[in-house]
Structure 1
Amino acid sequence: MSNFFALNSITTGRGWSVNVTGYTNALRKLVCCLFMLFFSTAYAFSQQKLATGEHFADVNGVKLHYYVSGKGPVCLAPSPGWGAHVDYMRSLTPFEKHFTMVYYDTRKSGLSSGPDDPTKYTDQDFMNDMDSLRTYLGLSKVWLTGHSGGGYQVLNYGSLYNDHVNGIIALDAMARYDSLHHAEMMKVINETKNGPEFEKAKAAFFGKDTVKRTMDEFLEVILPLYFTNTQIIRTIPKLKVSDKAYAYTRASNIFKSKNLLDDLHNIKVPVLVIVGDGDFICGVESEAKRIHAHIPTSRLVIVKNAGHLPWIEQPKEFYKAFEQWAKEQHI
């Protein structure tokens, strides 16, 4: 019979038939509804994870602490990795006009947890955390912003997982710690850090004093080296540093064990490389220009009269360059 299939009941012996077409259509509708319900629930859940405010993500056996702020495509912004809290990165508020910024503390930094095992703070551990956070947030692709050691992380991630990245903003980033890096650091210090406000900072940085300090205290003493105008330090909040994170990352030799320059050609997405012309720790010649030279899709911006944090020292010039680049990326 057309569109019907006759069956016999085993218990009664009676003949009965089932409308296969109607049954199939109903089943399809049910599957479709369940499919839509699943993905709408998953979407709603992912949106909760990206609601404005403070959150924690359980990934790789650690709780990553993160803040969400802004509107637009998601941009992950890790802390530098060696212990500094991510709070200072939240001063990049103009970015939030273009992105939903996700500022997160890397393992053991800030309010994030982390294993008490220095072997668990390698380059790959930080890459796994970044990729797991992307997955946790339900995103196939993200933008990335990183400063200093955070810049190292986002460039490293881009070279390994280019297909999961929309674009990268590398702020005073590092890619290779070598003799060229060290030579430029010493040159900048010797030529530009000679006022009385730098003497105590240089003595602490080069280990010439014997004062025992926490990392918070040490960073406060050496902070003048990071600026061309030391007066601006009075206007910014004190940076917080996790002593354990610093000890563990130092023991794992992160930032020094890998030459990122060899892999940067794998990055095919747009990259904005910004550096202060007076940065002593991630210099123009040894870091920014070499990074730019190894990424064909990159643009280099050198901010004049700025040190390691150009968006704080020269916000007008810094954000003008960023806004122009962001407009070209249609974000």
Structure 2
Amino acid sequence: MPTFTAPDGTQLAYHVRGEGEPLLCLPGGPMRASAYLGDLGGLARHRRLILLDLRGTGDSGVPADPATYRCDRQVGDVEALRAHLGLERVDLLAHSAGGDLALLYAARHPRRIRSLTLVTSRARALGVDFTEEHRREAADLRKAEPWFETAYEAYERVWAGSASDADWDTITPFFYGRWDAAAQAHASTDAEQSNEEAAELYPAPGAFDPAQARAAVASWDARVLLLAGALDSGPLPRVAAAVAELFPRAELTVQPGAGHFPWLDDPRAFSETVADFLDRGK
């Protein structure tokens, strides 16, 4: 397992899957170990995936200062990995909350980015977030599911601020396009792979300066792909489309039948879409 040293001395780990040109991958969660990304639906057949375990997750070390879990303070970790790999410019992929880190990195180091792929990604760094209205809108698409009634009742308690741990578990099917055995197995690893303390600190006050980030990305020459799931609430496809408009060279793909983890719902469609985007940039 390869490691490198972050600017503050924390030892960080990354995992390599596949061969070919490198694709640097940032996990979401926030602060979930990169293992849940797997091989991104077979994307490792097209690219060499460099899967970073963020500080305090997976095989990476725990920092001496917990305040360094804040999203913007991890930008230096991504830059240290780029330098460690000896890459002049990187193709960067980020999932979910990892999108905020990718956007902050790209805003701070625009010349290091060749392409950016945002998979069902957050964009709080740009002042865009998900709302209860968004969650309800996506949930309404799942009314025919056998689990819907029980899960929606749990969702109501989440929105009311009275949810139990069991309620959080009960709403999990909303985040998958198919609540089958593969999805259930994937979801079962969430708790053990996540650093809850770090997750709370990740978006701490001061992490994001949307006006500054928007100004930075408005002048990018890098290609950007936003891949949204048709059934996902974070982001809804229309919200992802609004985010895409903030970039000079962005394209949006909405994967049919997909939730928040589109590489599980249709591995071939996902991997071929991302690989095609990356190949067109060569």
CA distance in 2 between counterparts of 1:81 and 1:59 reads 21
Q: How does 1:213-224 map to 2 (within 5 A)?
A: 220-224=169-173
Is 1:323 aligned to 2:275, yes or no?
Answer: yes
Query: Measured at CA, do residues 71 and 277 of structure 1 come closer, stay the same or move farther in structure 2, by a change above 3 Å?
Result: same
Shift of 1:277: 1.0
Aligned to 1:57: 4
Q: Which amino acid aligns with 2:254?
A: I
Query: Measured at CA, do residues 101 and 320 of structure 1 come closer, stay the same or move farther in structure 2, by a change above 3 Å?
Result: closer
Secondary structure at the aligned position of 1:76 is classed as strand
Query: Measured at CA, do residues 194 and 263 of structure 1 come closer, stay the same or move farther in structure 2, by a change above 3 Å?
Result: farther
CA distance in 2 between counterparts of 1:222 and 1:116 reads 35
Shift of 1:301: 0.4
Q: Which amino acid aligns with 2:28?
A: P
- Whether the 8 Å CA contact 2:32–2:194 is kept in 1: the answer is no
Aligned to 1:268: 221
CA distance in 2 between counterparts of 1:195 and 1:274 reads 24
Secondary structure at the aligned position of 2:38 is classed as helix
Aligned to 2:59: 111
CA distance in 2 between counterparts of 1:289 and 1:272 reads 11
Shift of 1:244: 7.7
Aligned to 2:155: 202
Q: Over residues 186-205 of structure 1, what are the superposed CA-to-partner deviations in whole Å (9 max), with x where a residue is unaligned?
A: 32224535745242452674
- Whether the 8 Å CA contact 1:117–1:248 is kept in 2: the answer is no
Aligned to 2:199: 249
Q: Which amino acid aligns with 1:292?
A: A
TM-score normalised to structure 1 length: 0.71
CA distance in 1 between counterparts of 2:24 and 2:204 reads 20
Q: Which amino acid aligns with 2:44?
A: E
Matched residues, percent identical?
A: 21
Secondary structure at the aligned position of 2:24 is classed as strand
Secondary structure at the aligned position of 2:42 is classed as helix
Query: Measured at CA, do residues 127 and 324 of structure 1 come closer, stay the same or move farther in structure 2, by a change above 3 Å?
Result: same
Secondary structure at the aligned position of 1:230 is classed as coil
CA distance in 1 between counterparts of 2:234 and 2:67 reads 25
Shift of 1:292: 1.1
Shift of 1:147: 0.5
CA distance in 2 between counterparts of 1:302 and 1:261 reads 23
Query: Measured at CA, do residues 93 and 251 of structure 1 come closer, stay the same or move farther in structure 2, by a change above 3 Å?
Result: closer
CA distance in 1 between counterparts of 2:85 and 2:2 reads 11
Query: Measured at CA, do residues 246 and 290 of structure 1 come closer, stay the same or move farther in structure 2, by a change above 3 Å?
Result: farther
2:95 to 126, 138, 147: 147
Query: Measured at CA, do residues 86 and 243 of structure 1 come closer, stay the same or move farther in structure 2, by a change above 3 Å?
Result: closer
CA distance in 1 between counterparts of 2:107 and 2:219 reads 5
Q: Which amino acid aligns with 1:245?
A: N
Query: Measured at CA, do residues 62 and 179 of structure 1 come closer, stay the same or move farther in structure 2, by a change above 3 Å?
Result: closer
Secondary structure at the aligned position of 2:189 is classed as coil
Secondary structure at the aligned position of 1:143 is classed as strand
Q: How does 1:1-331 map to 2 (within 5 A)?
A: 54-60=1-7, 61-80=9-28, 82-92=30-40, 94-115=42-63, 117-176=65-124, 181-192=131-142, 195=145, 197-198=147-148, 199-200=150-151, 202=155, 205-206=158-159, 207-211=161-165, 220-231=169-180, 232-234=182-184, 236=186, 238-241=188-191, 245-254=195-204, 257-259=208-210, 260-286=213-239, 288-330=240-282
Q: Which amino acid aligns with 1:142?
A: V
Secondary structure at the aligned position of 1:91 is classed as coil
CA distance in 2 between counterparts of 1:244 and 1:87 reads 11
Query: Measured at CA, do residues 140 and 311 of structure 1 come closer, stay the same or move farther in structure 2, by a change above 3 Å?
Result: same
Higher relative contact order (CA 8 A, sep 6+): 2
CA distance in 1 between counterparts of 2:60 and 2:170 reads 25
Looking at CA atoms only, which structure, 1 or 2, has the larger radius of gyration?
1
Deviates more, 1:201-210 or 1:69-78: 201-210
Q: Which amino acid aligns with 2:174?
A: L
CA distance in 1 between counterparts of 2:193 and 2:183 reads 22
Aligned to 1:14: none
Secondary structure at the aligned position of 1:71 is classed as coil
